[in-house]
A = this chain, B = another copy of it.
Amino acid sequence: MDYDRPLFYHVMAYAAEADRDVIEMVSGSPDWEPPAALRSGLAEYAEAEPDAFQYPPSEGLRGLREEIAARRNVDVERVIITNGAGEANYLAMAGAMDLFEERADGSPSEDPEFLLTDPVYPYYPGKADLLDATKRYVAAEPDGSLDPDAVREQAAASGDDLVAIVVNTPNNPTGAVYDRETVAALAEIAAEHDALLIADEVYDKYDYTGRFESALALDRSNVVVTNAFSKSMAITGFRVGYAILPESMVGGARTRHMLVNVATSRPAQQAVLDALRETGPEYYQRNRQLMADRMATFTDALDAAGADYTEPDGGFYVMARFEDFPGTLENVKRLVDEAGVAGMPGEAFGDARLEWVRFALVTPRVEEAADRLAAFFA
Protein backbone atom coordinates (compact mmCIF):
# COMPACT_ATOMS: atom_id res chain seq x y z
CA MET A 1 0.00 0.00 0.00
CA ASP A 2 1.48 3.30 -1.07
CA TYR A 3 1.03 6.50 0.82
CA ASP A 4 -0.54 9.33 -1.12
CA ARG A 5 -0.26 12.48 0.86
CA PRO A 6 -3.68 14.12 0.83
CA LEU A 7 -4.00 16.90 -1.71
CA PHE A 8 -4.56 19.48 1.04
CA TYR A 9 -1.03 18.78 2.21
CA HIS A 10 0.44 19.66 -1.18
CA VAL A 11 -1.58 22.85 -1.44
CA MET A 12 -0.65 23.97 2.07
CA ALA A 13 3.02 23.22 1.45
CA TYR A 14 2.87 25.15 -1.81
CA ALA A 15 1.21 28.10 -0.09
CA ALA A 16 3.75 28.03 2.75
CA GLU A 17 6.61 28.21 0.27
CA ALA A 18 5.14 31.01 -1.81
CA ASP A 19 7.14 34.21 -2.13
CA ARG A 20 4.20 36.32 -1.04
CA ASP A 21 1.62 36.66 1.68
CA VAL A 22 -1.02 33.98 1.19
CA ILE A 23 -4.36 33.71 2.96
CA GLU A 24 -4.74 30.02 3.83
CA MET A 25 -8.28 28.79 3.17
CA VAL A 26 -7.39 25.12 2.81
CA SER A 27 -7.58 23.47 6.20
CA GLY A 28 -10.71 22.98 8.29
CA SER A 29 -9.11 23.93 11.59
CA PRO A 30 -11.00 26.59 13.53
CA ASP A 31 -9.03 29.78 14.26
CA TRP A 32 -10.90 30.72 17.44
CA GLU A 33 -10.54 29.99 21.12
CA PRO A 34 -11.57 26.65 22.59
CA PRO A 35 -13.98 26.83 25.54
CA ALA A 36 -12.33 28.37 28.64
CA ALA A 37 -13.23 25.22 30.59
CA LEU A 38 -11.27 23.12 28.13
CA ARG A 39 -8.10 25.01 28.94
CA SER A 40 -8.74 24.95 32.68
CA GLY A 41 -9.73 21.29 32.55
CA LEU A 42 -6.47 20.40 30.84
CA ALA A 43 -4.43 22.52 33.26
CA GLU A 44 -6.12 20.84 36.24
CA TYR A 45 -5.54 17.42 34.74
CA ALA A 46 -1.82 18.21 34.49
CA GLU A 47 -1.83 18.37 38.32
CA ALA A 48 -3.81 15.17 38.89
CA GLU A 49 -2.67 12.12 40.83
CA PRO A 50 -0.68 9.55 38.81
CA ASP A 51 -3.62 7.15 38.62
CA ALA A 52 -5.52 9.73 36.54
CA PHE A 53 -2.79 9.30 33.89
CA GLN A 54 -3.47 5.58 33.45
CA TYR A 55 -5.76 3.66 31.05
CA PRO A 56 -9.28 5.02 30.85
CA PRO A 57 -12.01 2.49 30.05
CA SER A 58 -11.58 1.34 26.46
CA GLU A 59 -15.02 2.63 25.46
CA GLY A 60 -14.30 6.06 26.99
CA LEU A 61 -14.56 7.91 30.29
CA ARG A 62 -17.90 7.04 31.82
CA GLY A 63 -18.67 10.69 32.62
CA LEU A 64 -18.04 11.77 29.05
CA ARG A 65 -20.22 9.00 27.65
CA GLU A 66 -22.99 9.96 30.08
CA GLU A 67 -22.82 13.63 29.12
CA ILE A 68 -23.07 12.73 25.45
CA ALA A 69 -25.85 10.19 26.01
CA ALA A 70 -27.88 12.74 28.00
CA ARG A 71 -27.50 15.41 25.31
CA ARG A 72 -28.29 13.00 22.49
CA ASN A 73 -31.04 11.22 24.40
CA VAL A 74 -29.68 7.72 23.84
CA ASP A 75 -28.69 4.85 26.10
CA VAL A 76 -25.13 5.40 27.29
CA GLU A 77 -24.23 1.86 26.20
CA ARG A 78 -24.61 2.96 22.58
CA VAL A 79 -21.88 5.62 22.91
CA ILE A 80 -18.22 4.85 22.21
CA ILE A 81 -15.57 7.55 22.54
CA THR A 82 -13.20 7.47 19.58
CA ASN A 83 -10.00 9.03 18.33
CA GLY A 84 -11.95 11.81 16.60
CA ALA A 85 -14.72 11.48 14.02
CA GLY A 86 -12.10 9.77 11.84
CA GLU A 87 -12.03 6.67 14.00
CA ALA A 88 -15.79 6.86 14.57
CA ASN A 89 -16.35 6.71 10.80
CA TYR A 90 -13.85 3.89 10.50
CA LEU A 91 -15.64 1.86 13.21
CA ALA A 92 -18.97 2.55 11.56
CA MET A 93 -17.82 1.52 8.08
CA ALA A 94 -15.89 -1.52 9.34
CA GLY A 95 -18.92 -2.55 11.41
CA ALA A 96 -21.12 -2.18 8.35
CA MET A 97 -18.75 -4.52 6.51
CA ASP A 98 -19.06 -7.06 9.35
CA LEU A 99 -22.85 -6.98 9.06
CA PHE A 100 -22.60 -7.30 5.30
CA GLU A 101 -20.34 -10.33 5.57
CA GLU A 102 -22.67 -12.00 8.07
CA ARG A 103 -25.52 -11.38 5.65
CA ALA A 104 -23.54 -12.57 2.62
CA ASP A 105 -22.44 -15.59 4.63
CA GLY A 106 -19.12 -15.88 2.87
CA SER A 107 -20.49 -15.94 -0.66
CA PRO A 108 -17.59 -14.83 -2.86
CA SER A 109 -19.92 -13.42 -5.50
CA GLU A 110 -20.69 -10.49 -3.25
CA ASP A 111 -18.96 -7.22 -3.98
CA PRO A 112 -19.56 -4.89 -1.04
CA GLU A 113 -20.31 -1.30 -2.03
CA PHE A 114 -20.47 1.94 -0.11
CA LEU A 115 -22.76 4.55 -1.57
CA LEU A 116 -21.12 7.97 -1.27
CA THR A 117 -21.94 11.41 -2.57
CA ASP A 118 -20.09 13.31 -5.26
CA PRO A 119 -18.59 15.68 -4.21
CA VAL A 120 -17.34 13.61 -1.31
CA TYR A 121 -15.24 14.11 1.81
CA PRO A 122 -12.14 12.19 0.62
CA TYR A 123 -11.64 10.11 3.77
CA TYR A 124 -14.82 8.11 3.04
CA PRO A 125 -13.60 6.58 -0.24
CA GLY A 126 -10.21 6.15 1.44
CA LYS A 127 -11.78 4.09 4.20
CA ALA A 128 -13.79 2.08 1.68
CA ASP A 129 -10.51 1.24 -0.10
CA LEU A 130 -8.93 0.26 3.21
CA LEU A 131 -11.85 -2.10 3.82
CA ASP A 132 -11.55 -3.63 0.33
CA ALA A 133 -14.96 -2.34 -0.66
CA THR A 134 -16.18 -0.71 -3.86
CA LYS A 135 -17.41 2.88 -4.03
CA ARG A 136 -20.50 4.03 -5.85
CA TYR A 137 -21.40 7.70 -6.08
CA VAL A 138 -24.57 9.66 -6.28
CA ALA A 139 -24.15 13.18 -7.62
CA ALA A 140 -25.32 15.97 -5.35
CA GLU A 141 -27.70 18.52 -6.87
CA PRO A 142 -26.19 21.82 -8.01
CA ASP A 143 -27.14 23.38 -4.65
CA GLY A 144 -25.48 20.51 -2.79
CA SER A 145 -28.70 18.82 -1.71
CA LEU A 146 -29.33 15.13 -2.31
CA ASP A 147 -32.25 13.94 -4.39
CA PRO A 148 -33.65 10.82 -2.69
CA ASP A 149 -34.73 9.46 -6.07
CA ALA A 150 -31.17 9.67 -7.35
CA VAL A 151 -29.96 7.93 -4.21
CA ARG A 152 -32.62 5.23 -4.60
CA GLU A 153 -31.52 4.65 -8.18
CA GLN A 154 -27.87 4.15 -7.22
CA ALA A 155 -28.81 1.99 -4.24
CA ALA A 156 -30.85 -0.19 -6.58
CA ALA A 157 -27.81 -0.52 -8.82
CA SER A 158 -25.84 -1.75 -5.80
CA GLY A 159 -28.68 -4.09 -4.90
CA ASP A 160 -27.64 -6.72 -2.38
CA ASP A 161 -24.09 -5.37 -2.47
CA LEU A 162 -25.02 -2.17 -0.66
CA VAL A 163 -23.17 -2.01 2.66
CA ALA A 164 -23.98 1.52 3.76
CA ILE A 165 -24.85 5.00 2.58
CA VAL A 166 -22.31 7.41 4.06
CA VAL A 167 -23.19 11.08 4.30
CA ASN A 168 -21.86 14.21 5.94
CA THR A 169 -24.34 16.84 7.09
CA PRO A 170 -23.76 19.78 7.31
CA ASN A 171 -21.65 18.92 4.32
CA ASN A 172 -17.98 19.28 3.59
CA PRO A 173 -17.38 20.52 0.87
CA THR A 174 -20.80 21.71 -0.40
CA GLY A 175 -22.18 23.41 2.72
CA ALA A 176 -25.50 21.60 2.22
CA VAL A 177 -27.63 20.69 5.23
CA TYR A 178 -29.91 17.75 4.50
CA ASP A 179 -33.43 18.28 5.75
CA ARG A 180 -35.33 15.74 7.81
CA GLU A 181 -37.15 14.32 4.79
CA THR A 182 -33.87 13.65 3.01
CA VAL A 183 -32.25 12.01 6.02
CA ALA A 184 -35.36 9.88 6.62
CA ALA A 185 -35.39 8.86 2.96
CA LEU A 186 -31.70 7.88 3.11
CA ALA A 187 -32.29 5.65 6.13
CA GLU A 188 -35.32 4.09 4.47
CA ILE A 189 -33.44 3.40 1.23
CA ALA A 190 -30.60 1.82 3.21
CA ALA A 191 -33.10 -0.32 5.15
CA GLU A 192 -34.66 -1.57 1.92
CA HIS A 193 -31.26 -3.10 1.15
CA ASP A 194 -30.56 -4.31 4.72
CA ALA A 195 -27.85 -1.66 4.74
CA LEU A 196 -26.84 1.12 7.10
CA LEU A 197 -27.01 4.88 6.99
CA ILE A 198 -23.84 6.40 8.45
CA ALA A 199 -24.30 10.10 9.16
CA ASP A 200 -21.19 12.10 10.03
CA GLU A 201 -22.51 15.20 11.80
CA VAL A 202 -19.25 16.78 12.89
CA TYR A 203 -20.40 20.24 11.70
CA ASP A 204 -23.75 20.05 13.50
CA LYS A 205 -23.04 23.19 15.55
CA TYR A 206 -22.60 25.19 12.34
CA ASP A 207 -26.10 25.12 10.89
CA TYR A 208 -26.99 28.58 9.58
CA THR A 209 -30.56 27.79 8.58
CA GLY A 210 -31.94 25.95 11.61
CA ARG A 211 -32.92 23.13 9.26
CA PHE A 212 -30.36 20.59 10.43
CA GLU A 213 -31.81 17.47 11.96
CA SER A 214 -29.65 14.71 13.31
CA ALA A 215 -30.20 11.24 11.89
CA LEU A 216 -30.53 10.14 15.52
CA ALA A 217 -33.96 11.74 15.55
CA LEU A 218 -35.11 9.01 13.15
CA ASP A 219 -34.69 6.47 15.94
CA ARG A 220 -33.96 3.70 13.46
CA SER A 221 -31.91 0.60 14.09
CA ASN A 222 -29.92 0.90 10.85
CA VAL A 223 -28.45 4.32 11.58
CA VAL A 224 -25.00 5.16 12.96
CA VAL A 225 -24.29 8.76 13.88
CA THR A 226 -20.70 9.94 14.22
CA ASN A 227 -19.47 13.21 15.62
CA ALA A 228 -16.51 14.88 17.35
CA PHE A 229 -15.57 17.91 19.39
CA SER A 230 -12.94 18.88 16.82
CA LYS A 231 -14.98 21.60 15.15
CA SER A 232 -17.46 22.46 17.91
CA MET A 233 -14.70 23.12 20.49
CA ALA A 234 -11.98 24.21 18.02
CA ILE A 235 -9.71 21.30 18.92
CA THR A 236 -9.09 19.29 15.75
CA GLY A 237 -5.78 18.10 17.23
CA PHE A 238 -7.28 16.60 20.41
CA ARG A 239 -8.89 13.66 18.59
CA VAL A 240 -11.99 13.16 20.69
CA GLY A 241 -15.06 11.98 18.84
CA TYR A 242 -17.81 9.47 19.26
CA ALA A 243 -20.05 7.00 17.51
CA ILE A 244 -23.65 6.34 18.51
CA LEU A 245 -24.39 2.86 17.27
CA PRO A 246 -27.41 0.61 17.10
CA GLU A 247 -27.22 -1.93 19.92
CA SER A 248 -26.42 -4.75 17.52
CA MET A 249 -23.21 -3.02 16.42
CA VAL A 250 -21.87 -1.94 19.82
CA GLY A 251 -20.02 -5.18 20.57
CA GLY A 252 -18.17 -5.24 17.28
CA ALA A 253 -17.22 -1.59 17.47
CA ARG A 254 -15.90 -1.94 21.02
CA THR A 255 -13.84 -4.95 20.04
CA ARG A 256 -12.33 -3.21 17.05
CA HIS A 257 -11.68 -0.01 19.01
CA MET A 258 -9.95 -2.02 21.75
CA LEU A 259 -7.85 -4.06 19.35
CA VAL A 260 -6.80 -1.10 17.23
CA ASN A 261 -6.41 1.71 19.77
CA VAL A 262 -6.94 0.22 23.27
CA ALA A 263 -8.50 3.54 24.33
CA THR A 264 -8.76 7.22 23.41
CA SER A 265 -6.20 9.60 24.90
CA ARG A 266 -7.26 10.50 28.42
CA PRO A 267 -6.00 14.10 28.83
CA ALA A 268 -8.01 15.05 25.76
CA GLN A 269 -11.09 13.16 26.99
CA GLN A 270 -10.90 14.79 30.42
CA ALA A 271 -10.53 18.31 28.99
CA VAL A 272 -13.50 17.74 26.67
CA LEU A 273 -15.58 16.40 29.56
CA ASP A 274 -14.88 19.51 31.63
CA ALA A 275 -15.64 21.74 28.66
CA LEU A 276 -18.85 19.89 27.87
CA ARG A 277 -20.10 20.26 31.45
CA GLU A 278 -19.19 23.91 31.86
CA THR A 279 -19.71 25.50 28.46
CA GLY A 280 -23.04 27.19 27.82
CA PRO A 281 -24.82 27.58 24.47
CA GLU A 282 -23.45 31.10 24.01
CA TYR A 283 -20.01 29.68 23.16
CA TYR A 284 -21.40 27.67 20.27
CA GLN A 285 -23.75 30.48 19.19
CA ARG A 286 -20.90 32.97 19.08
CA ASN A 287 -18.79 30.82 16.79
CA ARG A 288 -21.74 29.92 14.61
CA GLN A 289 -22.51 33.62 14.24
CA LEU A 290 -18.88 34.38 13.47
CA MET A 291 -18.95 31.80 10.68
CA ALA A 292 -22.33 32.99 9.39
CA ASP A 293 -20.96 36.56 9.20
CA ARG A 294 -17.89 35.34 7.35
CA MET A 295 -20.07 33.41 4.92
CA ALA A 296 -22.06 36.59 4.18
CA THR A 297 -18.93 38.69 3.75
CA PHE A 298 -17.29 36.17 1.50
CA THR A 299 -20.29 35.45 -0.69
CA ASP A 300 -20.99 39.20 -1.07
CA ALA A 301 -17.48 39.62 -2.39
CA LEU A 302 -17.93 36.60 -4.67
CA ASP A 303 -21.05 38.29 -6.03
CA ALA A 304 -18.99 41.41 -6.68
CA ALA A 305 -16.39 39.24 -8.43
CA GLY A 306 -19.06 37.69 -10.62
CA ALA A 307 -18.33 34.18 -9.34
CA ASP A 308 -20.79 31.34 -9.08
CA TYR A 309 -21.04 29.83 -5.64
CA THR A 310 -23.20 27.56 -3.55
CA GLU A 311 -24.79 29.41 -0.66
CA PRO A 312 -23.73 27.33 2.36
CA ASP A 313 -26.46 26.29 4.77
CA GLY A 314 -23.88 24.97 7.21
CA GLY A 315 -20.27 24.00 7.82
CA PHE A 316 -17.02 25.83 7.15
CA TYR A 317 -16.75 25.86 3.37
CA VAL A 318 -17.81 27.76 0.28
CA MET A 319 -17.40 26.26 -3.18
CA ALA A 320 -16.98 28.86 -5.89
CA ARG A 321 -16.59 28.76 -9.65
CA PHE A 322 -14.88 31.45 -11.71
CA GLU A 323 -15.37 31.91 -15.43
CA ASP A 324 -12.87 29.96 -17.55
CA PHE A 325 -10.97 28.96 -14.47
CA PRO A 326 -11.51 25.25 -13.64
CA GLY A 327 -10.69 24.08 -10.13
CA THR A 328 -7.53 22.22 -10.98
CA LEU A 329 -4.46 21.96 -8.80
CA GLU A 330 -2.66 24.09 -11.38
CA ASN A 331 -5.22 26.89 -11.14
CA VAL A 332 -5.24 26.68 -7.36
CA LYS A 333 -1.49 27.21 -7.44
CA ARG A 334 -2.02 30.20 -9.70
CA LEU A 335 -4.40 31.66 -7.13
CA VAL A 336 -1.73 31.16 -4.48
CA ASP A 337 0.92 32.91 -6.54
CA GLU A 338 -1.11 35.58 -8.26
CA ALA A 339 -4.02 36.29 -5.91
CA GLY A 340 -2.48 35.32 -2.57
CA VAL A 341 -5.37 33.02 -1.66
CA ALA A 342 -5.07 29.25 -1.15
CA GLY A 343 -8.14 27.07 -1.68
CA MET A 344 -8.74 23.40 -2.41
CA PRO A 345 -9.13 22.15 -6.00
CA GLY A 346 -12.58 20.75 -6.70
CA GLU A 347 -10.97 17.62 -8.11
CA ALA A 348 -10.03 16.65 -4.55
CA PHE A 349 -13.70 15.87 -3.89
CA GLY A 350 -14.62 13.68 -6.84
CA ASP A 351 -15.78 14.35 -10.37
CA ALA A 352 -18.84 16.51 -9.84
CA ARG A 353 -17.13 19.79 -8.97
CA LEU A 354 -14.11 19.87 -11.25
CA GLU A 355 -14.89 23.48 -12.13
CA TRP A 356 -14.96 24.58 -8.52
CA VAL A 357 -12.60 25.67 -5.77
CA ARG A 358 -13.39 25.11 -2.09
CA PHE A 359 -12.57 27.86 0.40
CA ALA A 360 -12.47 27.23 4.15
CA LEU A 361 -13.60 30.28 6.07
CA VAL A 362 -11.69 29.53 9.26
CA THR A 363 -9.52 32.61 8.96
CA PRO A 364 -10.15 36.18 10.12
CA ARG A 365 -9.02 37.39 6.69
CA VAL A 366 -12.12 36.35 4.79
CA GLU A 367 -12.96 39.81 3.48
CA GLU A 368 -9.40 40.46 2.37
CA ALA A 369 -9.34 37.09 0.61
CA ALA A 370 -12.56 37.85 -1.21
CA ASP A 371 -11.21 41.26 -2.25
CA ARG A 372 -8.07 39.59 -3.58
CA LEU A 373 -10.12 37.14 -5.57
CA ALA A 374 -12.32 39.94 -6.94
CA ALA A 375 -9.22 41.91 -7.97
CA PHE A 376 -7.66 38.85 -9.60
CA PHE A 377 -10.75 38.02 -11.64
CA ALA A 378 -11.62 41.66 -12.45
Contacts and interface: CB of A to CB of B under 8 A. Distances in A.
A265 to B, nearest CB: 4
Contact of A256 (B130, B236, B250): B130
A234 B265 contact: no
A98 B130 CA distance: 11
Contacts of A349: none
A39 B46 contact: yes
A252 B10 CA distance: 19
Given A1-B255, A29-B51, A265-B268, A87 B260 contact: yes
A83 interface: yes
A198 to B, nearest CB: 15
Contact of A251 (B3, B250, B263): B3
A29 to B, nearest CB: 4
Contacts of A171: none
Contacts of A246: none
A193 B201 CA distance: 46
A112 B1 CA distance: 18
Contacts of A32: 50
Nearest to A98: B1
A261 B46 contact: no
A263 to B, nearest CB: 6
A86 interface: yes
Contacts of A263: 84, 237, 239
Interface of A: 1-4, 6, 27, 29-34, 39-40, 42-43, 45-47, 50-56, 83-84, 86-87, 90, 95, 98, 123, 126-127, 129-130, 234-240, 250-252, 254-256, 258-268, 271
